[in-house]
């Protein structure tokens, strides 16, 4: 995965979104050539899982193991 600007140049950036009670974070802040994907508890910020390979596996992890209401 790459995070790019409108000119297709790689960026050091981070974005996050919520699935259920989890926050999925995708970051190229430390290395714009390799995205780091991690899952956090939405309420307390606890790291639940990291070193995920792609967004699909992160969303699957949340659906299978994520905290429920």
In tens, the pLDDT along 49-66 reads 999 999 999 999 999 988
pTM for this one? 0.86
Please give the backbone phi and psi of residue 34, each rounded to the nearest 5 degrees, phi first: -145, 115
3-state helix, strand, coil in the chain (%, to 5): 15, 35, 50
Asked if the model's pLDDT at residue 1 lies above 70, the reply is: yes
pLDDT tens digits, one per residue of 15-51:
999 999 999 999 999 999 999 999 999 999 999 999 9
Q: Which residue has the tokens 């790689």?
A: 10
DSSP secondary structure code for residue 1 in this structure: -
CA distance 63 to 69: 13
Q: Which residue has the tokens 């999925």?
A: 24
């Amino acid at each position: 995965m790459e995070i790019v600007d409108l000119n297709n140049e790689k960026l050091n950036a981070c974005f996050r979104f919520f699935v259920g009670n989890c926050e999925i974070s995708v970051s190229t802040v430390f290395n714009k050539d390799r995205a780091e994907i991690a899952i956090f508890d939405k309420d307390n910020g606890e790291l639940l899982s990291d070193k995920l390979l792609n967004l699909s596996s992160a969303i699957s992890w949340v659906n299978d193991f994520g905290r429920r209401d």
